[in-house]
Amino acid sequence: MDSMQRFSNLPTYLPTSYHIWNADVFFFLKEANQDIMRNSSLQSRVDSFFIYKAKLPPVLNATYGPFSVEQAVPLDLMLTTASFDFTDKFTFNWKLKSHILDSSIYSNKPKIQTLFYIAGKDWDDYNSAEMLPCVKMFAFLESREVVASCEDNEHKALPAMERIGSIIVYPNQDKLKQSALRLDDNVMIRLPLSPVKEGDVVTFHVSLTDDSLADQFVLRIKTAPGVKITDVRVSDADQWGIQEETDSERTTAIITCVHNDPTAENR
């Protein structure tokens, strides 16, 4: 009997209990492929949690028997953007989001529409006297700059500056008369009809045909003498990803285009 293995009644992990204060909605997480040996110690324990909604800086409480300790969750671990770290002015845990409505504009109609919205705010608990942020947007085209701001001058703009995206500026819409050339059953290229002189920048638009089911294609480019490839851009980076291989003279290129979401309609 003495040679038989004896099993201990002690737990193989540190039996600590957790609670989070100042958080309306939070979750304790468990990894699907978590290493079983990670918490097999009576000296330390590692767990994950996610704070979904909070009005004040959350505080983590850990209890082990008669012992208890608390610590505020660092702001750099929260989803709060740096713009809203000023909890004395703005409600905690706001996230300012932005979305550029059109990824391209014409030079004769340079109008950029951008949607700014606040995520993480409990609007059911909104007070009309509560300060809302004022956003100032800068648009740069080469050395020129355009600034637009909210109409409420009483509320100061946030001090942080963040790049929200870029757009493509096409020439005057009247000059964009093009002819379509079908390369094969899937790929179509649109060519400008207007005369081109030396020094002009010409844009060729490549797209899939309406009946194409292709999710990727490879485009090989070889320019005529005196012509160089200046840039390759995708109109919707969320839908398409490109890989470009261009020689040092920028006269030949191999461009691999892959559809990020084959189920999407925008092709």
Give 208-238 pLDDT, tens digit per residue: 888 888 899 999 999 988 899 988 888 888 8
Distances (CA, A) of 157 to 127, 137, 143, 166, 188: 20, 10, 24, 21, 46
What's the pLDDT at 134? 78
* pLDDT band, residue 262 (cuts 50/70/90): low
What's the pLDDT at 90? 56
Q: Which residues are bridge partners to 243 per DSSP?
A: 256
Say whether pTM exceeds 0.85. Answer: no
Residue 203 neighbours by CB under 8 Å, 6+ apart: 170, 171, 192
What's the pLDDT at 83? 47
Q: Give SS3 for 246.
A: strand
Q: Are 223 and 229 in contact (CB under 8 A)?
A: yes
Residue 252 clears pLDDT 90, i.e. is over it? yes
Higher pLDDT, 253 or 177: 253
Mean pLDDT, the chain, integer: 76
* Single-letter amino acid, residue 150: C
* pLDDT tens profile 65-75: 888 989 888 87
Residue 24 neighbours by CB under 8 Å, 6+ apart: 52, 53, 54, 55, 122
Higher pLDDT, 252 or 172: 252
Residue 164 clears pLDDT 90, i.e. is over it? no
Q: What is the mean pLDDT of residues 111-137?
A: 76
The pair of structure tokens assigned to 5 is 């293995």
Distances (CA, A) of 56 to 93, 191, 240: 8, 57, 40
Give residue 200's Cα distance to chain centre.
Answer: 34
Q: How far apart are CA 150 and CA 133, in angstroms?
A: 9
Q: Are 60 and 71 in contact (CB under 8 A)?
A: yes
Residue 193 clears pLDDT 60, i.e. is over it? yes
